[in-house]
């Protein structure tokens, strides 16, 4: 027996009437009987199409200011009735319930209302009751009924009506049901997150639309997708599709640059900064950021917090890079940067990122507050006899921002608001420090008078001993080791200054 079912009747009740007209006209040509309510009914009537009021079926008016319109057994019975169940069929006749084969509905714009900053009562009124119930009921009975849960499925419905002349298969109906439960689950999650923003019960729910299929994941043999709307965060002016690895670096870059107010340029590679400098002029910031590690900068992600001008663009154009991010670009600078067709050029928009971050872990998820702590001078506790100079304090705070955004274990060496080198992702702090010193020396940096930042405390004095031999004169670290005094004593002996922040910045 064929699983094809003809659509003979439809219930249509939507908040947004845009693009609904072609569907109404197609249903009318197929002689589908249409039921509707309120504003949707008036819209259909203006098209000159016959429509039956739901109130005529239920013998009950819309009540409570429109809160209750379709919530009635004669509506839901016609949707949920199993067409191959004799008892269900008898009850449809007994209670004069019309069969409903197609339901077209959308939901009140709850998320848009929340985003608009509307008062709480307006937000509550946008919690859809009838629409969500119609979606769930029709999707549940996909064996017999077809659900169109949002305007995103309108074109799919039109194609279906045209290609199959008003008939649907079980595969068609099940696919639309899947879309319906995607819509309803996302909607319920948004409502939950709104309520949970104040109370915060320990439950993890996230839902992101739309989905963006990427070329692949971290490696070509892995599938990858991004769920979310990147257009809220960036405007892409030029270049190829953003990749999975690009997104990881872009996230790291955006979070790092957010901690800087003065003109700063950063170069990211594998989620770590390989070059950063703060200067009065952007071109100087770029040149000094690049000199931090011109080798690693190849194929990197570039980011700045100022408009890219022509002079800077000319210098940037001399190297190969994957992505550049800035709040804006001068017109002539943009023309220079667009010369390479694959370069991804992004404008970063103003966007409030969530204060929570999460990642999949084993058979669940890890959730934590984002590390938003940015140390300032008043947070620094001098632990040594020698106190850092004004210039050293500026460098210490600069280095501490970088250490916060580098993979642990990490050590950052900086001088004159320039990253000299960093040791990142090491299994010991000593290894991180040795890596940083070796790298700085390889690029001919003079570390005499430079500062050192550490993401966590020094368990022994060996780190400050090695730093002193390299020429480091000032140190910033969280403190908190039971052997802090050993590091303090060594610094005092060698006339080094050291400050404690009291805040660890692990990043894994």
Indicate which residues carry an active-site annotation: 140, 270
- SS3 for 318? coil
| Count of C-beta atoms within a 10 Å radius of residue 123 | 17
Determine phi and psi for 155, rounding to 5 degrees: -65, -35
Beta partners for residue 451, in sequence order: 414, 474
- Asked whether the beta carbons of 148 and 105 are under 8 A apart, the reply is yes
Q: Which residues 6+ apart lie within 8 Å of 314 measured at CB? A: 336
| Count of C-beta atoms within a 10 Å radius of residue 485 | 11
Q: Work out the angle at residue 72's Cα, subtended by the Cα atoms of residues 69 and 75, and round it to the nearest 5 degrees.
A: 95
Strand 9-13, strand 102-105: pairing: parallel
Residue where the block lists tokens 């870059």: 253
Task: Give buried/exposed letters for 450-477 (b at 16+ CB in 10 A, else e).
Answer: bbbbbbbbbbebebbebbbebbbbbbbb
Q: Which residues 6+ apart lie within 8 Å of 506 measured at CB? A: 408, 455, 456
- Asked whether the beta carbons of 489 and 375 are under 8 A apart, the reply is no
Q: How far apart are CA 481 and CA 464, in angstroms?
A: 14
Give the residue among 432, 436, 196 at the shortest CA–CA distance from 293. Answer: 436
The two tokens of residue 275 are 């070059």
Give the residue among 226, 232, 190 at the shortest CA–CA distance from 211. Answer: 226
DSSP designation for 451: E
Residue where the block lists tokens 């950052």: 412
The two tokens of residue 410 are 């990490």
């Amino acid at each position: 027996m064929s699983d094809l079912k003809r659509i003979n009747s439809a219930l249509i009740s939507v908040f947004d009437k845009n693009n609904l007209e072609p569907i109404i006209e197609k249903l009318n040509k197929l002689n589908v009987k249409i039921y509707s309510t309120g504003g949707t009914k008036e819209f259909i009537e203006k098209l000159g199409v016959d429509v039956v009021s739901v109130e005529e079926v239920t013998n009950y008016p819309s009540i409570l200011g429109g809160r209750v319109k379709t919530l009635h057994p004669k509506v839901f019975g016609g949707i949920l009735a199993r067409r191959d169940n004799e008892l269900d069929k008898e009850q449809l006749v007994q209670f004069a319930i019309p069969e409903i084969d197609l339901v077209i509905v959308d939901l009140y714009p709850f998320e848009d209302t929340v985003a608009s900053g509307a008062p709480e009562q307006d937000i509550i009124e946008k919690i859809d009751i009838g629409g969500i119930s119609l979606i769930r009921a029709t999707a549940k009975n996909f064996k017999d009924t077809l659900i169109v849960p949002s305007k995103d499925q309108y074109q799919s419905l039109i194609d279906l009506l045209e290609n199959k002349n008003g008939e649907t298969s079980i595969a068609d109906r099940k696919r639309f049901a899947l879309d319906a439960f995607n819509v309803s689950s996302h909607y319920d999650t948004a409502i939950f997150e709104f309520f949970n923003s104040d109370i915060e019960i320990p439950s993890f729910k996230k839902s992101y639309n739309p989905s963006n299929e990427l070329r692949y994941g971290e490696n070509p043999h892995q599938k990858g997708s991004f769920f979310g709307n990147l257009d809220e965060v960036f405007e892409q002016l030029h270049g190829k599709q953003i990749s999975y690895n690009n997104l990881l670096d872009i996230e790291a870059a955006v979070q790092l640059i957010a901690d800087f107010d003065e003109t700063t340029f950063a170069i990211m590679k594998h989620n770590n900064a390989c070059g950063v400098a703060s200067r009065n002029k952007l071109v100087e910031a770029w040149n000094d950021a690049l000199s931090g590690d011109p080798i690693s900068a190849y194929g990197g992600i570039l980011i700045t917090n100022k408009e890219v001008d022509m002079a800077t663009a000319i210098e940037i154009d001399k190297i190969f890079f994957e992505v550049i991010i800035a709040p804006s670009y001068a017109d002539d600078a943009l023309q220079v940067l667009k010369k390479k067709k694959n370069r991804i050029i992004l404008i970063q928009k103003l966007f409030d990122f969530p204060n929570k971050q999460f990642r999949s872990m084993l058979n669940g998820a890890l959730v934590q507050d984002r590390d938003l702590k940015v140390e300032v001078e008043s947070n620094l506790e001098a632990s040594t006899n020698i106190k850092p100079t004004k210039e050293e304090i500026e460098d210490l705070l600069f280095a501490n921002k970088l250490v916060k955004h580098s993979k642990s274990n990490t050590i950052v060496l900086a001088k004159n608001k320039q990253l000299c080198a960093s040791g990142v992702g090491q299994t010991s702090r000593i290894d991180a420090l040795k890596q940083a010193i070796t790298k700085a020396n390889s690029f001919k940096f003079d570390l005499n008078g430079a500062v050192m930042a550490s993401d966590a405390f020094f368990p022994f004095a060996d780190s400050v001993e090695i730093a002193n031999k390299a020429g480091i004169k000032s140190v910033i670290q969280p403190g908190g080791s039971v052997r802090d005094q050993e590091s303090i004593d060594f610094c005092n002996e060698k006339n080094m200054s050291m400050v404690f922040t009291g805040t660890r910045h692990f990043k894994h």
